[in-house]
Structure 1
Amino acid sequence: MRVCILVEGTYPYITGGVSSWIQMLIENMPDIEFDVVHLAPWKWTRSFGYKPPKNLKYIYEYLLFSSDFSKTNIAFDERELVRYVRQLIELKEERAKYFANILRVTAGKHIDYLLLSRTFWDFLNDIYIRYFQEEGFPGFYWTVIGFIVPILGAIQALPPKADIYHSTTTGYAVLSALTGKYYHGGKLIVTEHGIYHREREIEITKSKSIPEVYKKPWIEIFKLISATAYAECDALTTLFEKNQIFQFELGADFRKMRVIPNGIDIKKFSTIRKVEHDTFNVAMVGRVVPIKDVVTGIKAFDALVKEVPNSRLYIIGPTDEDEEYYQRCVNLVELLGLSGKVIFTGKANVIDYYGMMDVLLISSISEGQPLVQLEAMAAGLPVVVTNVGNCPEIALDPDGQSGFVVEPKDYVAMAEKLIILAKDKALRETFAQNGRRVVSQKYTLERMINSYRQLYEEVLSNA
């Protein structure tokens, strides 16, 4: 069996989250050969964040904004493509079917040159006159080009021949996966850790760089890609049931759907030795980037210190992904007079720190089912998490509460919960015991690996 995993801007460069999940998946199925297709807007120069397992045969890299207008495909009928696109715009229903037809027609073909063709220019003029005539044409033109180029880049990122294409998003990566399915005849599995089109909708809605008139069409494009992926895949998985509601909204077939929770190496974290310390230590684990909302975590810690002066905050994770945001966090620490109490470790092994931590704080504004929450529970740490993704369901599991849940951005509520835990050692121990029990029963690595192995075998047996 050969499986090709398709990602956007994550593995093997970015650590944690989806990347950790991919590394565990490959490492724990040594009898299966894997390839990885990495799509990104630019060429990455940083080193790999993981040592590639022996059964990871090749890593292919494609640039979404790398157009080559010199290559053409004479056998390709550009008028057929434009006809499909016109139908796509004019139809109210079955758009996913027509978009799939476009992908089938273009699979394995080089189509960048179409952007310079008279057919495309006439089509563009028609769309402008019909829908955007009140806007300036230069702005319209470059906005449309900005929409189209990464889509063309993803479609032309033809993956290697594989039995199964396993996409980690319903964004650009799934366009490459669909191309592989149509061109090579493999099966397609889509795994959504977060719901991609909803995340893009939030980003676009909040964006100040995209004119309002173009926001709705751009959001609809991402919804269309997701709907097409749901319709064309052979299996659709996600980490928790709440995500399936959003998949159903775009027509996902329940017969294809599975919930496969994340899993962790329980023994690796449950055997961490506790280190004696005389401070109350709070851990934030992850990349120092806006989506993790480290700023709010620092504000919550500032309020904690006023009540529990001997507290310390350890921010454990890479600081080089968004240097401007990292500097903002450093400046805030200095402004609040917390230097010496807030420690940025940079990229580190959390096992080296968990033994002296008292609580895990997740202040993120968006999450799926964070591995760090499960790992902290296995290590015997109570948690304070935001009400995003699957974080609250895990923390408030009916078989045992392992922590508190607060709303995103509410640093006052975060601080209140941290103060409660700092002053109540018995409660910390109760949450710790509950967390260990829940994670060992429901979120084991063995369970996750077995579920994906069975899924791989199932989709191939339905050939």
Structure 2
Amino acid sequence: MRIGLLTEGSYPYATGESRLWCDRLVRGLGQHEFDLYALSRSAQQEEQGCIRLPPQVRRVRTAALWAPADDGRTHGRRERRRFAGHFKDLVAAVCADGDGFVDGLYGLAELAREHGGLYAALRSETAVRILETACRAPGTRRTVHGATVVDLLLFADRLERALRPLLLDWYDEDGLGAVDLCHAASGGPAALPGLLAKRFCGVPLLVTEYGVRLRAHYLEAAGAAGLSTPVRALLAAFHRQLAGEVYRQAAVITPGNTHARRWQEKCGADREKLRTVYPGMAADRFAAVGDSAGAGDPHTLVWVGRIEPSKDVIGLLHAFAEIRKEEPAARLRLFGAPAQSPEAIACLAHCKALAAQLFPDEADGAHAVGDNPVSFEEIGGPGAPELVDAYAAGGVVVLSSVVEGFPVSLVEAMFCGRATVSTDVGAVVEVIGGTGLVVPPRNPRALADACVALLRDPARRERLGAAARARALELFTVEQNLTAFRDIYLELISHSPVQREAFDTDGEPRPFAHPAESHVPGRWTGTAAGPHTPSWAEEPRLVTTGAPRETPEEARP
């Protein structure tokens, strides 16, 4: 089977959210061929390079969402009229949640495929005027009525970047038209090539979202500086419309957890298409710690993650001040990746200042780790502890987030057989499943009480840790993830027979290159002929080879 894997800002680049699971998927399904179609998000990401790809990746094609993509073409009078009509449909639906989004999107895609020139058209004065008219039209949302020219220009720029996959030359028999299945590693722009491959070539689409792309956009837009309210509203409406079309056209959608599944359902995804497939994580690296689950300092709480506002380290420090009042021997070790962005550096400095304020006699930074009640440590740096060592350092692992998708650090702690205390956000309750303590977010008192309860009860810690490890090994390993996708691939291809021609080395058609495939309407069991009647005893049914055909009128009962 030939899979077209569609990514945005991740695989095969050395950075990105879904890089690891994509790499495990490709390496684990070595019986299939993979064509990789990757969209990059920044010049910095491309400069950091790509990872080494396995031999089953037969082709890599990349495109940048950040760099100008002007093909140098401009539209003639007829093409300008076509563009104006399709663009009006799209932006009218964006401004008023109308029904023209799909017609506008595919109309622009066909125009770009036939004539190019979409880059210049989307940034033209005509596009800005159409946007302004749509924002002022009756029935549009109140939040976009006040859009200024600057707002419209900024939105047009963001819209052109999001629609850049429409300009690519990937949609022919030498590109995505040659694959058996498109697998989008996220929604949003990454799934756009899959939509066009289905539209132009009939290739089925599978969409996987371990973090819902629309939700991520909402969070990014809320914290983005320089975006006015009208621009935020327009971008949110566009991405909401795009997500709805992706979910409608996908043959199967695989959320990574129930939390993501609920988001997808609210955005219009059909429940019949949804199948939860948990992320596959490497359990082997944590085996040594998991086998010695009772080890580690029983008085130490461990926190692992990125130090940023959504992780609420501030609330954890206030909770730990309460813990120290009841358990003076308690220690808190915070392990995080090196802070790189200005926001992360500022957040880390704020947390260290608060720790020094809450524990003035001890947290002066001059003592060793064992002498401080609170320590901030980097993972993976020169002389710094490794990730496995971080989880092995204590008896209880704490997650204090106020916003969370799929809690990776929590699963890692479960692989290590550690008892956990977590806040009830995202997919935490689903992941824990009764093997840890869960408290409300932004409640330092509740967090402190749960931690004290586990610190004082070693038997309970050991029991919860063992149960957590067993659950993680059952649900969250790479093996279960590969098995799920292997079955989904086979199911989808069985419903979408191979249509392309096969040729030999001389360019001649190669007969019998693909096995015959058939589609039998109706059910195989429990039919009207009776629950025990074999299928061969029923009335004859029409059997077609390849794609299903309409039954002729004269053959219908």
TM-score (normalizing by structure 2): 0.72
Q: Secondary structure of 2:121's match?
A: helix
Q: How does 1:440-459 map to 2 (within 5 A)?
A: 440-459=473-492
Check 1:326–1:226 CA distance in 2 against 1; reply closer, same or farther (3 A cut). same
1:5 and 1:314, CA in 2 relative to 1: closer, same or farther beyond 3 A? farther
Which residue is equivalent to 2:29? Answer: 29
Alignment of 1:156 onto 2:167: yes
* Secondary structure, aligned partner of 1:258: coil
What is the CA-CA distance between 1:229 and the residue it aligns to? 0.3
CA–CA distance in structure 2, aligned partners of residues 83 and 171 of structure 1: 24
Q: CA RMSD, aligned part only?
A: 3.3
Q: Which amino acid aligns with 1:140?
A: D
Q: Residue 380 of structure 1: CA displacement?
A: 0.4
Tell me the equivalent position of 1:2.
2
Q: Distance between the aligned counterparts of 2:321 and 2:243, measured in 1?
A: 41
User: Is 1:269 aligned to 2:286, yes or no?
Assistant: yes
Partners of 2:135 and 2:147 within 8 A in 1:
no
Partner of 1:422 in structure 2?
455
1:344 to 377, 381, 396: 377
After the TM superposition, which residues 279-290 of structure 1 pair with which residues of structure 2 at under 5 Å, given as runs? Answer: 280-290=299-309
Distance in 2 of aligned mates of 1:236 and 1:30: 22
2:156 counterpart (125, 145, 163): 145
Aligned pairs for 1:220-259 within 5 A: 220-259=237-276
Output one character per residue of 1:284-311: Cα deviation in whole Å (capped at 9) or x when no partner. 3333444444444444445444544444
Unaligned ranges ≥5, structure 1? none
Structure 1 residue corresponding to 2:428, chosen from 370, 391, 413: 391
| CA distance in structure 2 between the aligned counterparts of 1:239 and 1:133, rounded to whole angstroms | 34
Residue type of the alignment partner of 1:120: A
Secondary structure of the 2:7 match is strand
- 1:101 and 2:106 aligned: yes
**5 Å matches for 1:277-356?**
277-278=296-297, 280-337=299-356, 338=363, 339=365, 340=369, 341-347=374-380, 349-356=386-393
The code of the aligned residue for 2:337 comes to P
1:345-384 correspondence to structure 2 within 5 Å: 345-347=378-380, 349-384=386-421
Q: Is residue 403 of structure 1 aligned with residue 436 of structure 2?
A: yes
Which of 215, 218, 236 is the matching residue for 1:219?
236
Q: Does structure 2 conserve the Cα–Cα contact (< 8 Å) formed by 1:194 and 1:389? A: no
Letter in 2 for 1:26: V
Label 1:88 to 1:47 Cα distance change in 2 as closer, same or farther (>3 A).
closer
Q: Secondary structure at the match of 1:343?
A: strand
Cα gap change, 1:286 to 1:278, in 2 (>3 Å)? closer
- 2:118 aligns with 111
Q: Deviation of residue 447 (structure 1)?
A: 1.8
For the residue of structure 2 that corresponds to 1:175, the secondary structure is: helix
CA contact (8 A) 1:190 1:233 kept: yes
Structure number with greater Rg is 2
- Give distance in 1, aligned partners of 2:63 and 2:320: 41
2:83 to 81, 84, 105: 81
Q: For the residues of structure 1 that align with 2:346 and 2:410, how far apart are their CA atoms?
A: 26
SS of the residue 1:20 aligns to: helix
Q: CA deviation at 1:278?
A: 4.4
- Cα separation, partners in 2 of 1:145 and 1:299, compared to 1, 3 Å: farther
TM-fit CA distance, 1:55: 3.3
Q: Alpha-carbon deviations, 1:42-67, whole Å to 9, x = none?
A: 44266369654443455544332322
Distance 2:145 2:261 in 1: 39
The match for 1:438 among 442, 459, 471 is 471
Mark the CA change 1:361 to 1:425 in structure 2 (over 3 Å): closer, same or farther: same
Cα offsets for 1:366-396 (capped at 9, x unmatched):
333333322321210111222222111222x
Does residue 67 in structure 1 map to residue 68 in structure 2? yes
SS at match of 1:409: coil
Cα distance, 1:124–1:246 mapped onto 2, change above 3 Å: closer
Shift of 1:191: 1.0
Residue 409 of structure 1 and its aligned partner are, at CA, apart by 3.2
1:461 maps to a residue whose letter is S
The answer to whether the Cα contact below 8 Å between 2:251 and 2:492 also exists between their aligned partners in 1 is: yes
Number of equivalent positions: 459
TM-score (norm 1): 0.85
Residues of 2 paired with 1:40 and 1:196: CA distance?
A: 14
Residue-by-residue CA offset, 1:214-257 (whole Å, 9 max, x unaligned): 43332211110110100111211112334333323333223322
2:29 partner letter: M
1:188 aligns with 2:205: yes
Equivalents in 2 of 1:134, 1:369: separation in Å?
A: 37
1:117-136 aligned at under 5 Å gives the runs: 117=124, 119-127=126-134, 129-130=136-137, 135=146
CA shift digits 1:165-222 (9 cap, x unpaired):
2223222222243234445553321112133223433444565643233433322111
Residues 461/155 of structure 1: CA separation in 2 closer, same or farther (3 Å cut): same
CA distance in 2 between counterparts of 1:393 and 1:214 reads 35
Distance 2:144 2:264 in 1: 35
SS in 2 for 1:412: helix
Per-residue deviation, residues 298-353 of structure 1 (Å, max 9, x unmatched) = 44445444544444444444224534313421442244224443132234742233
